[in-house]
Structure 1
Amino acid sequence: MDFLAAYDAIPQSDAARRVALLRQHMKTGGPAMLRELRTERPVFATPVGVFVTRMPDVVEVLSTPDVFTVGVYGPVLEEALHGPFMLARDGADLHWHDRAHAQLMLPAEDFLPVRRLTARLADDALDRAIATARAAGRTTFDYVQEFAAPVAARVAREYLGFTDVPEEALHSLSQRVQRAVFVNQDRDPEAHAAGVAAGKELHDLVAGVIRRRAAAASSPGADDVPDDVLGRMLRTVLPPGTGRPLDEERVNHQLVGYLIGFQQNAAQCAATALKELATRPEELARAERLAAEDDDTAPFDGYVWEALRFHPFVPSTPRLCVREHVLAAGTPRETRLTPGTVVHAHMASAMFDETVVEEPYAFRPDRTPVHNMVLGHGAHACVGKYPARAIVPEMVRRVLLRPGVRPLPGAERALDHAGTPYPQHYTVTAGAGAPS
């Protein structure tokens, strides 16, 4: 039975059963369900909000922050961060000021140096994982735990400036915060409390880092202070009249916010991109050949971003409708939305919208970036998109440069979430040593 037929067969008064069926299909057959919705009911009202599945409508929701706000998760995020952050706000009072500042701290000019940093850290992690496996008499290692998660954390330490914060703390604490804010849809009090506590621990750890770095910057030999994102923030003086002063608390909220948006997402992308390529042997072979091209990495990067189109780390994002709005006006799916409506903008569905995207189910690494929403869209698109475009493809590229380091044959799809929302384990073969 198709999803909509089964859903409509449940009485409208039985909201609990309808929601249970919806979540079951999202978990076990999400792409098929979204395809059905795009065709039959592209703006789909449910007890937990309105699902928006066509690309023009998703773009409309994400590009209209004065109507569709981040009020669904914004207050929870700020509670977890113990202060304001741009991702939790809309409008000029904080969001655009902090976003402009963040873009200066995370500029396009960072692409090449961050790529080189990622290559160095990734090669070192691979050397360690292979050596550890061989010393233990193993022929495999855990790609997530021994490569993706630690590399992401080490990049955060060196690039963002989380100096002397243990990498395991960066990974585990950021995961608890992200889970409480973006995954805990039912606002389970235990998960919420764990996220708030993790955010407080991160805040206090970073406060110590900021104090030590600020003291070092004012002492003799200050020229040796690392030129990382935190260092830039501490050296920055904003002109008068540009919002809140850039004091230590604001720097803390920004830096921890960057981590929350980076750590889990980078580790997950490195895992899911490799998995998607490994399940397509011909595409994997082409990507392997392109990985060896040092002069121009753009063709290789296209394979990674196309792989992630099939498995985006953020498949949908919720928005709160704060005033009456007609969505998709003038089309057969025109829908009037009232204030208080939660709207789920399904980017994973939009990227497969047959009415916009040519051959959406074909693997095409040369697609126009307009049809790839992996890094978001609109007012809250990924503010760290420039370093992200360096880090994620390079993590995958360093793996493909290693002969014999590949997902376990026959288990290419066996990405294990271990009962969590995030990939936890992925077995790969421990092939040759350092690249030539």
Structure 2
Amino acid sequence: MQWLLNLPIVLWRRLLLLLQGLGALAALIGSGIAALFGKGGTAAGRIGAALTSPTGQRRVFALLRLVQPNLVLNRRTISSYENNGITALATRRADVIDILSRDDDFGVVYAPRMKMITGGENFFLGMQDTPRYTRDVSNMRLTMRREDVPVIVTPYVEAKSADIVAMLPGVIDVPQALTQPVAAGLLDRYFGTPGPSEAAIAEWTTLLFWYLFIDLQADPDLDARARVAAADFRAWLDRHIAARRASGEIRDDVLGRCLAMGSADMPGMSDLDIRNNLIGLLIGELPTLSGTANLALDELLNRPEPFAGACAAARAGDDDLLAAHIFEALRFRPLNPVVYRRAMRDTTIAGGWLRRRRIRKDSIVMASNLSAMFDPLAIPDPARFRTDRPWETYMLWGYGMHTCFGAHINRAVLPAMLKPLLARPNLRRAAGARGQIDTDGTPFAQHLHLEFDS
């Protein structure tokens, strides 16, 4: 009889899927008409901007979840990684989770570019489930321990962020003054890899993250810049590792633990192995922390009531409520709205369902984590901003075997980083364009000016 009790819930969710999709269609038509007759740039450019905005993306996915939940296009959408010119886009949560859980069917694609960055070797984020993957992940988990987060990582971020905000005269350029310096400082304090300067480590990691994960069209100019950055990064880190080892200094940071394991002849922990693993981890740390912090802050600023709630939680020291506001904001605005894989063989998505689709070997498969977090078949009241959602709702840094290696650090650092700023009285955007995110030609926020009462 359980199925009978669940029937009203199932019917309601299906109705919500229908209403959500139809509402998205109407909104897309309206925004398309407005863009068509708008001002500035070409009509095609204005329509493209409307569709690719955060709101536009959510509307497109809502429509696809209803009418074509697994869309297959005979179109090459990614040129930077090898594929057969076919692209599939999965939008329902069940299918997204299925794809990201089937590593033998849907493999990661990053190996060629990771090998360029390291000068020949892969990094475990670009590996399939192999013995080497298990070895490298296990080694780095021994050096980046979960217990470090409350003991080392969070206290550092809290103190550093509070010191920065306390020195401000009532204005702040958030990426330049807060999020990038704190993330870069963490590379020094916790990883033991400060870079030759904060500016250099920020430039290298940002550029190489862009090259690995965001440059889908193989931009030759970016490729050239990435090759120079990668060579400089390798050279500096090789010198830094050699100097630390030669000094005999014992520091309880990630590099220090790696060196100790290497001295004990741990397999996979030669100085070259250490360098390659650290390059991969550092590329993921700074751009992710700074980028997501600014997206969360910008999304909160766009929502007066949640923004007021986040500020009140920060002032009251309610860390759990503050974190709930930040991660719910990121549900609406994740750093990456899709996770892409390549089909390792001919296979199927959503087998046994009407939405079932055959996927040919070497097709690119895009699993939309953004869409999955708004699927009314799985997420209650998905369109509302709610701070009572279980953590399992969120798919902010991937899913499955290749979830972001530092996801537990991200979860702790983001609220700690933003808390002192959100606690400032009358925090608000600066006037005009200065108060909006400026990416300065990159995929990440480089400027966002806010003001508050001193």
TM-score range, shorter chain: 0.7 to 0.9
1:275–1:407 contact (8 Å) kept in structure 2: no
Distance 1:151 1:246, change over 3 A: same
State the distance in 1 between where 2:263 and 2:239 align.
Answer: 23
CA offsets, 1:280-332, max 9 Å, x none?
A: 222222222322455x6223211111111111011112100011111111111
State the distance in 2 between where 1:278 and 1:43 align.
Answer: 33
State the distance in 2 between where 1:389 and 1:276 align.
Answer: 17
Distance 1:338 1:328, change over 3 A: same
Q: Percent identity?
A: 28
User: TM-score if structure 1 supplies the norm length?
Assistant: 0.85
State the distance in 1 between where 2:58 and 2:308 align.
Answer: 26
| RMSD, matched Cα | 2.6
State the distance in 1 between where 2:428 and 2:49 align.
Answer: 32
**How many matched pairs?**
401
Residue 284 of structure 2 corresponds to residue 247 of structure 1: no
Distance 1:286 1:430, change over 3 A: closer
2:435–2:449 contact (8 Å) kept in structure 1: no
Which residue pairs with 2:65 in the alignment? 38
Of 162, 166, 177, 1:123 maps to 162
Which residue pairs with 2:145 in the alignment? 107
1:114–1:387 contact (8 Å) kept in structure 2: yes
Secondary structure class of the residue paired with 2:358:
strand
Which residue pairs with 1:198 in the alignment? 229
Which residue pairs with 2:291 in the alignment? 268
What is the CA distance between 1:425 and its match in structure 2?
Answer: 1.1
CA offsets, 1:106-157, max 9 Å, x none?
A: 22212212111001111232244x1xxx5xxxx5331111211111111111
Which residue pairs with 1:175 in the alignment? 206
1:418–1:424 contact (8 Å) kept in structure 2: yes
Segments of 5+ residues of structure 2 without an aligned counterpart are: 1-24, 30-43, 78-86
Distance 1:172 1:291, change over 3 A: same
Distance 1:274 1:66, change over 3 A: same
What is the CA distance between 1:404 and its match in structure 2?
Answer: 4.3
Distance 1:288 1:94, change over 3 A: same
1:106–1:386 contact (8 Å) kept in structure 2: no
Which residue pairs with 1:15 in the alignment? none
Which residue pairs with 2:8 in the alignment? none
Of 208, 230, 238, 1:207 maps to 238
Which residue pairs with 2:130 in the alignment? 92
Of 78, 81, 85, 2:118 maps to 81
Which residue pairs with 1:323 in the alignment? 345
Q: Name the aligned partner's letter for residue 146 of structure 2.
A: A
2:91–2:372 contact (8 Å) kept in structure 1: yes
Secondary structure class of the residue paired with 1:236:
helix
Greater CA deviation, 398-407 or 38-47? 398-407
Greater CA deviation, 321-330 or 398-407? 398-407
Greater CA deviation, 35-44 or 398-407? 398-407
Which residue pairs with 1:300 in the alignment? 322
1:150–1:168 contact (8 Å) kept in structure 2: no
Which residue pairs with 1:348 in the alignment? 370
Secondary structure class of the residue paired with 1:285:
helix
1:401-412 mapped onto 2 (5 Å cutoff): 401-408=423-430
1:111–1:389 contact (8 Å) kept in structure 2: no
Q: Greater RCO between the two (CA within 8 Å, min separation 6)?
A: 1
CA offsets, 1:90-116, max 9 Å, x none?
A: 122322222222222222212212111
Distance 1:370 1:376, change over 3 A: same
